[in-house]
Chain A
Amino acid sequence: MKVNRKPALDRTKAPKPGPAGKISFPKYFEKKYRNGFKIFVIENHQLPIVTMGFVLKNGAAYDGDLPGLASVTCELLSKGTKTRSATKIAEEIDFVGGSLSQNVSWDAGQVFVSVLKAHLQKGFDILRDVVLNPTFPQKEAERVKTQRIAAIRQLKADPGYMADTTFSSVVFGTHPYGNTISGNEKSVNRMRRGDFSKFHNAYFTPDNSFLVFAGDISPKEAEKYVSGSFAKWKGVCKKSPLPPLPELPRDGHVFIANKQGAVQSSLRVGHRGIARSNPDYLKAFVMNTILGGYFSSRINMNLREAHGYTYGGRTDFDGRIIPGAFQASADVRNDVTAETIEEIVRELKRIRETLPSKDELTMVKNYLTGLFPIQLETPQQVAGRVIALELYDLPRNYYRDYRNNIGKVTPKDIREVARKYIDPDNLYVVLSGDARKIASKLKRFGRVEILEEDGAARPVQKHKQS
């Protein structure tokens, strides 16, 4: 068959975008009950599935002198209630094909249940029961503690875990943030049954928690469930504010969590960062994206694509209720450890010294604003954002105006927040790796302290209390 030849396609230019789709933060329902309890409903009937998230408005930062307490307490919620044994809970949720999971962060404790619409009543019933009526049975507590201690021992073999825990202890000293969310072997061993019920009584109250429904459910249905349970819940939370961060000596140490035979250094370089509710947060977030927050970022392009030092390099600001950490991280082969630190320091200096080009900033703005609809594709993703709004007390129009506000950030803003929140002269350099192979080359970054493998993750270092 003879075919008319079309002119050859010009492939040299990237296609232009078509008209943009309508993008807005989805509407959601919010209600506060008399006892202070709040619910949020993100209604979306696309698929016959519902996710429910109970959120406690404080997490591991309130562990007190028992690191890991919030985390172990939340794990124990599903190990026995007034009317259900651990086995019964497992059987009931598994039988309907549902999932029940707990997650504890520094600022929150969360219990999630996800079920098909057909099993919504059962799913809600289990969630309500484990949150409101846990009994923390002695046998179950022992079981979970033994498991947890073994899990921590296992984690200690992981270089990433060692780098993370050492970095936190160095950067936050005696503050709760200097501990580990999952606890340590000693603290978990010391936990008693009374500690769990005390934590539960103190913080699991209607005014210190809320519930988010997302998916195939209407506000009316959600209210029906809540009115007979959480709406009648009594209690008041007397939570004291978090302690301020202690002052630390600033004499540029290098800490190596020694791991003999390691073939890579797991690197963390940084210092304290910024609180989530800080009005500069969004600007710092955009700045961080340029620096190390996406694939095309400076750090990743430098360390991975230009030098081939690592599978990936990145930077993060961990915004929490009070400032979390700022860190650059990468896993690199032993013989380029010092070179990698140098490149990281170079990038931290550069973003403070020179303005980003208009093109570079525009690219990041396009990235962040374009990504927004992909980040909101499912009702569960939207729920994650709604939880952040409530947890960090952000303005209710935060996500409505998010794309707009990103658009307003200027090159000068980037340099200004870089100067304010990144301090290349006072970095903590922490890594997990083979000290024999790397220590001698790291002296140029400060005094090198080597922490032995089975020693405590916390280095011997005196922190001045403010």
Chain B
Amino acid sequence: MIFIEFSELTLPNGLHVIMSPDRSAPVIAVDVWYHVGSKNEEPSRTGFAHLFEHMMFQGSANVKKAEHMKYVEEAGGVFNGSTSHDRTNYYEALPSNRLELALWLESDRMSSLDISRRNLDNQRDVVKEERRFRVDNKPYGSAWEKIFALAYREHPYKWPVVGYLEHLDAATVNEARSFFRKYYLPNNAVLAISGDFIPSEAMKLVEKYFGDIPPGVVGRSDRVAEEPLSSQAREVVYDNVALPAIYMAFRVPPMISDDSNALNLAAEILSKGKSSRLYRKLVYEKRIAQSVGAFQLDLEDPGLFVVNAVVSAGNKLEDMEREIRNEIRLLAERGPRESELEKTRNQFSSDWVRQLTKALGRADNLAQFHTLYGNAGMINRYLDRLLHVSGRQVRDVTREYLDTDNSAVVYYYPRENRARKR
């Protein structure tokens, strides 16, 4: 449908460089992915990878505190960073004549981040406000945290990316420095550039700015094997919410597996659009749910398939859960209809085009495929893989993974309900 042209090579220090020129708009995107996320953290220092992402904006040898943002914004660009369980990234989108600025900024912090007590204290405060804003003070804000904590017993996915407040408090400057030395290495990173540039010229600049950054020994944590969930795990939460809601998670294989692709189709068939099975049955016909969604979470290690739904007024979570499980059972028994498969293929195709519209979207996908699938070329095969999933595969993965015993379930109730119970 669309073919993304790109070239790639690895510098002697291990930095992997991917370049994807497209001269349709005078814009470039520079996106650096480090293969480190919250799963690399010490269990007593949750939230460290994300706190560290904030530190990356606090200055380096030649860029003072807050100057990174200033340089990018003064050039007419946007920037940000993000941290997940598996990886951390940093990006700038800029007018195309500022490629060199972005490379200078990214290479300066990769080679000489300035980790000071003062900056750590300041960003610790900011991150604590971020946590209060997104988790503690938002209705259902703690749901993902609860569901991961329930679905994993050993694996580091069991703690939240943003971390726990007491761990953030305990983080020290020395720990930050050692985290930097262990993971923020050229040989643990990929640099993706997309948009309006000439690759041969860009390559010279990349070598100029990144070529002399010494490689190091990447910190590796052992993969934690997690026993399958052999029975249901359940939790009830009373919180600042208006309507009861359910979050159910099923443990599923890693994103790179074929089964993961098929589960992506199952999620789409169950909840994408108003003609999807769960919406149609629960929200529209039975009116038992206010809203419903199903998501296949793409994770590097064995991940989760999550269904969440808010109950409509006057209905019970137990009944809604039964309806959800019933719809899943129907899909597991009979598989999808041919028309549903065709619909899902059409949906994947148009979503794929939308994802690759902007230079940043192309850079992000290339960096992701390299980091987590070990192959940037997947960008031109990924859609095809989804389009070739058969109805039988969808049926089989639904049967295998989305069954009751393999699930963790969190019920949310308004705080007042607990008071009433007493």
Contacts and interface: CB of A to CB of B under 8 A. Distances in A.
B76 A296 contact: no
B290 A157 contact: no
B6 to A, nearest CB: 17
B134 to A, nearest CB: 8
A159 B135 CA distance: 12
B96 A21 contact: yes
Contacts of A377: 25, 27, 357-359
Given A146-B287, A154-B290, A97 B351 contact: yes
Interface string A90-108: 1101111111000000000
Contacts of A262: 137, 240
A308 B125 contact: yes
Contacts of A366: 74-76
Contacts of B79: 295
A333 B129 CA distance: 7
Interface stretch (B64-72, B81-89, B185-193, B221-229): B64-72
Nearest to A306: B122
Which of B98, B123, B127, B358 lies at the interface centre, i.e. has the most chain A CB atoms within 10 A of its CB?
B98
Interface string A408-436: 00000000000000000000000000000
A47 B358 CA distance: 11
Which of B25, B103, B128, B358 lies at the interface centre, i.e. has the most chain A CB atoms within 10 A of its CB?
B25
Contacts of A305: 65-66, 122, 126
A372 interface: yes
Interface stretch (A8-16, A246-254, A279-287, A441-449): A8-16
B95 A374 contact: yes
Contacts of B96: 21
Nearest to A379: B357
A48 B76 contact: no
Contact of B78 (A12, A331, A371): A371
Given A11-B108, A373-B26, A49 B353 contact: yes
B160 to A, nearest CB: 16
Contact of A97 (B125, B137, B196, B350): B350
B76 A332 contact: no
A143 B313 CA distance: 12
Contacts, number: 225
A275 B153 CA distance: 56
| Chief secondary structure at chain A's binding surface | mixed
A151 interface: yes
A156 B242 CA distance: 8
A90 B275 contact: yes
| Chief secondary structure at chain B's binding surface | helix
A13 B283 CA distance: 59
Interface residues of B, number: 87
B132 A94 contact: no
B26 A310 contact: no
B66 A150 contact: no
B353 A47 contact: yes
Which of B94, B101, B126 lies at the interface centre, i.e. has the most chain A CB atoms within 10 A of its CB?
B126
Contact of A21 (B69, B95, B212, B349): B95
A145 to B, nearest CB: 12
B27 A374 contact: yes
B336 interface: no
A165 interface: no
A157 B242 contact: yes
6 contacts: A94-B343, A97-B347, A157-B241, A308-B121, A333-B129, A373-B25
Interface of A: 8-9, 11-15, 17-23, 46-49, 86-87, 90-91, 93-99, 114-116, 119, 143, 146-147, 149-151, 153-159, 259, 261-264, 266, 294-296, 301, 304-311, 331-333, 363, 366-374, 376-378, 380
Interface of B: 1-2, 24-27, 61-62, 65-66, 69-71, 73-79, 93-101, 103-104, 107-108, 121-130, 132-133, 136-139, 196, 208-209, 212, 240-243, 272-276, 280, 283-284, 287, 290, 310, 312-313, 339, 342-343, 345-351, 353-354, 356-359, 415
